[in-house]
Amino acid sequence: MSDALINGLAGAGGGIIAQLITYPLQTVNTRQQTERGLKKEKSKLGTIEQMLQVIKHEGWERLYGGLAPSLVGTAASQGVYYYFYQIFRNKAEAAALERRKLGVGDGSVGMLSSLVVAALSGCVNVLFTNPIWVVVTRMQTYKKNLKKSEPGPELSTAQDEAVLAAAEPPPFGTTHAIQEVYDEAGVLGFWRGVFPTLIMVSNPSMQFMLYETMLKKLKQRRALSKKDNSGVTALEIFLLGALAKLGATVMTYPLLVVKSRLQAKQVTTGDKRHHYKGTSDAMLKMIRYEGLYGFYKGMGTKIVQSVLAAAVLFMIKEELVKGARFLLTNKVKSKPP
């Protein structure tokens, strides 16, 4: 089994586990991102309050609505990303060694090369998996975009009404979402939001650049220390992954909001605020009707969700890679000469 395949499968496994743990936060965050409101119409409900409202009016299982296609998307996305990342990384390392033979560099992959490797891997991942995430976004936001508010007598505030209205979808499965996207824009509809998503490749690029830079420095520090312990623990991998994701998320979050708005079902009523023709149109309308605040809706929720997910993913992925290599090494050793 190739090293690239090991990393691809480990990335998919880690991504699935991270998704299962953080999915309720992702559900709430998607609703926050796709909320349309005027500049002064800021939601007073926090993340925990919104989660409690969903549980109260729908049941806790709705926090996992659309989980199945999301898991497929996560496995495909992480698997494709890590597979191509390792391939490009191997090529970068080979090129660095060749330069060292010529007397250039120390033979290690630098920050710029790491950034390029992560960016190329991200672009391939986006082009392959964007259709899956368009369907997932449709399923997560369907109830909001098609809602007709019918509040019950137990609702006491406008916020409760909005949450309940956004949480009561008619039956809507994966096949319905696929058919809806196709009916609206044909095959190209499955690549809606691909432009801001490609720009967002800078997020995992920054994430991996920061992660590998910190990991490299930590290993170097351990190697230079007097103690004979150059390894990195699972907890340290967890913390490094969290720090790397935090920095990348804060810088690229506005693009994530624009992407979610474009991939959600476009409202065709007379309210121009709710209909986006493209990336530039979405950004201009968000600035006009919602101000800069619109680009950062739900960022607190996203930071918690993405940092936790990235930390879990890195930790589990590294442990799976170590386990797979250990098993393969023992298998080779156990074979008779």
Q: Measured between alpha carbons, how far is 15 from 173 in angstroms, rounded to an integer?
A: 23
* pLDDT (0 to 100) of residue 172: 65
Total-model pTM: 0.62
Q: Is residue 337 part of a domain?
A: no
Residue with tokens 């990393």: 7
Strand, coil or helix: what is 169? Answer: coil
* pLDDT (0 to 100) of residue 144: 43
Q: Is residue 202 part of a domain?
A: yes
Structural domains counted in the chain: 1
What are the start-end ranges of the H helices in the chain? 3-33, 47-58, 67-101, 111-145, 158-166, 174-185, 194-199, 202-224, 234-263, 279-290, 299-334
Q: Is residue 335 part of a domain?
A: no
Q: Measured between alpha carbons, how far is 246 from 303 in angstroms, rounded to an integer?
A: 6
* pLDDT (0 to 100) of residue 228: 57
Taking a C-beta distance cutoff of 8 angstroms, is the pair 129, 74 a contact? no
**Rg of the Cα trace of the chain?**
22
Output the domain CATH number for residue 87.
1.50.40.10
Local confidence pLDDT in tens for the 337 residues of the chain: 677 778 777 877 887 888 888 888 888 888 788 777 655 555 667 788 888 887 887 777 777 877 888 888 877 887 888 889 889 989 988 988 888 888 877 778 777 788 788 888 888 998 998 998 888 888 776 654 434 444 445 545 445 544 444 444 455 678 888 888 888 888 888 988 888 888 877 776 677 778 888 888 888 888 777 665 567 788 888 888 888 878 787 778 888 888 888 888 776 556 666 678 888 888 898 888 888 888 888 888 888 887 788 788 888 888 888 888 888 777 666 666 5
Which residue range is the domain that position 198 belongs to? 3-144+172-329
Classify the C-alpha dihedral 29-196-14-70 as positive or negative: positive
Q: Is residue 149 part of a domain?
A: no
CA 177 to the chain's CA centroid: 20
* Residue from 59, 31, 63 nearest 45 by CA: 31
Measure Cα distances from 32 to 14, 35, 141, 279, 301 in Å.
Answer: 26, 5, 10, 19, 9
* pLDDT (0 to 100) of residue 247: 77
Burial of 227 (0-12, 13-18, 19+ CB in 10 A): exposed
Measure Cα distances from 217 to 211, 223, 232, 240 in Å.
Answer: 10, 10, 11, 11
CA angle 77, 79, 85 (to 5 degrees): 95
Taking a C-beta distance cutoff of 8 angstroms, is the pair 315, 234 a contact? yes
